[in-house]
Amino acid sequence: MNEIDVMRVGIIGVGLMGHGIAKNVLARGGFPLAFLDHPGNQPVDDLIGLGASACKSPGDLADASDVIILCVTGSPQVEAILTGTTGVLSRLRKGTIIVDCSTALPESTLRMAAAVRAAGGRFLDAPMTRTARHAEEGTLNLLVGGEEADLRSVRAVLASFTEGVEHVGPVGFGHRLKLLHNYVSIGFMALLGEAAAQAADAGVDPAIFVDVLAKGGGAGVALQRMAPAIATGDAGAVPFFIDNALKDISYYQTMASNSGASKAIADGVGTAIAAVVECGHGQAYISDLARLLRKAKPAA
């Protein structure tokens, strides 16, 4: 049996996205799996039923893993998990590969990759595109930064929960491209939400509004995802919290500022989303902007 076939996998972050990843690593990939026991996890009874084991600390998980997948909120969480007193690096086994599927700042990613290498491990930044539904179906796409040889070592693990895995450059490029991707995606949806709100306030039939855009320059994936919320008020098609959208836009703004790039449009998107969060709607889904940006704000 090839060494990769018996790789022991650990995952930290069994939330909306991580649960699907964990399930498919077990059920489709057949890999032994350990996960960090954490109150933010989704229910894990099904994972335990498939043979997964819970670990009390990131260090405990490092002891039990040949490859560790991180699927947490952002850079502060990644840094704490890796470098904390009982963090992964405190007990990292030589040769362990860290696969960071979180959305993170490239500058932080480079620091964490260097710390992992100094501890004897290897590092890939592999942020995800698509949604929690795709995670459960095992059809996520990954944008991977790092060494090609390290990616080859874990391809069988990644294949268990993905449809596409693209090597986009050295360490840091995965997270850089994820922020560019999310800026464009969130920006499109924020623009559509604001336009849909204005159309609704003016009495435009929402079905006609969607149809006109779909037949012209407004067509695209963003409109397809937003259409149920615009036409029927069903915001569940895009299960992505506005809080997280604001975090991702703020990361993009930081990345752009650090490189001296223009970010005037990003600043506008950030301001619009921040206002919605300040009104207490951070845990609404982003497609609900079509409702929340109306002049007469409907009740949450």
* Catalytic machinery residues: 178
User: Which residues 6+ apart lie within 8 Å of 241 measured at CB?
Assistant: 282, 283, 284, 285, 286
Tell me whether strands 67-70 and 97-100 are parallel, antiparallel or unpaired. parallel
User: 276 with 269: CB under 8 angstroms?
Assistant: no
Q: How far apart are CA 132 and CA 240, in angstroms?
A: 9
DSSP 142: E
Q: Where are the beta strands (DSSP E) in 137-278?
A: 140-145, 162-169
User: 7 with 31: CB under 8 angstroms?
Assistant: yes
Q: How far apart are CA 161 and CA 251, in angstroms?
A: 26
Residue whose entry in the numeric block shows the structure tokens 């619009």: 272
Q: How far apart are CA 54 and CA 38, in angstroms?
A: 9
**Terminal Cα-to-Cα distance of the chain (whole angstroms):** 55
Residue 31's alpha-carbon distances to 26, 51, 74, 95, in angstroms, are: 5, 10, 26, 18
Q: With the C-alpha atoms ordered 173, 179, 182, 187, is the resulting torsion angle positive or negative? A: negative
Q: With the C-alpha atoms ordered 158, 162, 168, 171, is the resulting torsion angle positive or negative? A: negative
Helix, strand, or coil (residue 158): helix
Give the rounded distance of the alpha carbon of 189 from its chain centre.
17
User: 288 with 252: CB under 8 angstroms?
Assistant: no
